[in-house]
Amino acid sequence: MRSLRLGIGFGVDTTSSVARKVLDLYRRYLTEPSDSVRATLWSERERARWRPYDLLASYVYQGFSDFTVVQLRAAVGLPETYCLTALVSAIDDSTRAVRPLALYSVYAIRQDGAWVLANALPRMTRKWPSDTVGAVIFIHPPTYELDHAAARATAAFVDSLAAAFRLPKPQPISYYFTADLSETLRALGLEFFPLGADTVGGRSNVLTRQVFVGSSSNGEGYRHELAHIILGPVVSSLTAPLLIEGLMTWTGGSAGLDYSRLLPGLARYVAGHPGLTLQSVMEHPPPRDGSLDVGYDGLAVLCQLVYLRGGLPALRAILGAGRSADDVLATSARELGVSRTSLDSLWRATILRHQGRGSNDSPPAGPAAP
């Protein structure tokens, strides 16, 4: 934190005493080396409500050293509240080219006579309606009318997934959604964050039980991120990251499609790449192309194969095998009762059965939840 450089952009007025206090608070928060001291600079109410309390920490603190305040203003409609917007970037030492990571907003509020920082989310969404359906709290812009049938189906999915994995009844999940993921993340305080070209997608925060979804066609039904929340206790830091995504894709789909509808696209890719193996997919996953993510979808197939052979014990065995491809695949082969070479053959054959089918006519390849 101490190596961070904080700049002030053009047009940022620092003449008022309040502006100087807010800037000083923000600088202290960025540079304070002690986590316990930094926590005292944040809203006490939000620290009690969320862990981690800074909802944008995982997005904006990724080792980039240049922070520039581009706007500092009183928040409209919120007394004794200021909004600070900062650009996080890296600057090339030789070319001086700026490579932005994020443009984000954080708020400053009064607490016990002092200024403290606070998240954008509760302030940006303070006028958004919420509808609680089962364990899911659907939160959306006022211009959107909730599809109650879709919401009930998603709430039922949450309950069934927890039951299938023998987990306790789900605690409430806050599900924020709009028609565009960029718009949803803007409510979180992210004015800019690199997402690629696809506006359909989601993010989740397992610890705070929050889901952020953007989908113009099925905002209430994006289940991949919900699977992350429900199955958080099933995975651990020892689970291979791509295997985690495969599990969430098998149970909750991906890119707005359920698992069975992802398989025809995966089959076309596998048919066109005869040398593709599980090892190569895990170690060098091809980049996502539209709704096709060979890593996510391919590992989803592996999860289903293992579950159909050995049930939850076998699935838990591969989830706990370790983070390396060798550990995951050796354990998978053992649970399936095949050799490593035969594992690849079985995996490819399972996928290629869906060759020639369309995304809308493939029969279910497995249950949405085991």
For every residue of 53-86, DSSP letters joined together read: S-TTHHHH-SS--EEEEEEEEEPTT-TTEEEEEE
- Indicate whether 278 pLDDT > 70: yes
Helix H or strand E segment including 164? helix 148-164
> Among candidates 208, 201, 254, which has minimal Cα distance to 227?
254
Question: Boundaries of CATH 3.40.30.160 in the chain?
Answer: 125-233
256-262 mean pLDDT: 94
Report which of 80, 87, 132 is spatially closest to residue 105, judged by C-alpha positions: 87
Q: Which of the four pLDDT bands, split at 50, 70 and 90, describes residue 1?
A: very low
Q: What distances in angstroms separate CA 245 from CA 65, 128, 140, 210, 313, one per listed residue?
A: 30, 30, 26, 17, 19
CATH hierarchy code of domain 5-118: 3.10.450
**pLDDT exceeds cutoff 80 at 368:** no
| Cα–Cα dist 106/69, whole Å | 11
Of the listed ranges 95-109, 243-257, 268-282, 314-328, the one predicted with least confidence: 95-109
What token pair was written down for 15? 């003449």
> What three-state secondary structure class fits 141?
coil
- Mapping DSSP to helix (H, G, I), strand (E, B) and coil, where does residue 197 land? coil
pLDDT of residue 44: 97
Residue 361 pLDDT more than 70? no
Share of the chain above pLDDT 90, in %: 85
Q: Which secondary-structure segment (H or E) carries 139?
A: strand 136-139
How far is it, in rounded angstroms, from Cα 145 to Cα 282? 41
- Does 91 or 288 have the greater pLDDT score? 288
pLDDT above 60 (res 365): no
Of 354, 345, 350, nearest in space to 268 by CA = 354
Cβ–Cβ < 8 Å for 210, 137: no
Q: Which CATH number fits domain 125-233: 3.30.70.20, 3.50.50.60, 1.10.4190.10, 3.40.30.160?
A: 3.40.30.160
Residues 6+ apart with CB under 8 A from 259: 249, 250, 251, 253, 300, 304, 365, 366, 368
HSE, side-chain direction, 13 A CA sphere, residue 43: 20
- For the residues 282-309, what does the mean pLDDT come to? 96
pLDDT digits (tens, 9 = 90+) for 43-99: 999 999 999 999 999 999 998 989 999 999 999 999 999 999 999 998 777 787 888
Per-residue confidence (pLDDT) for residue 357, from 0 to 100: 66
Q: How high is the pLDDT of residue 306?
A: 98
Over residues 318-331, the mean pLDDT reads: 97
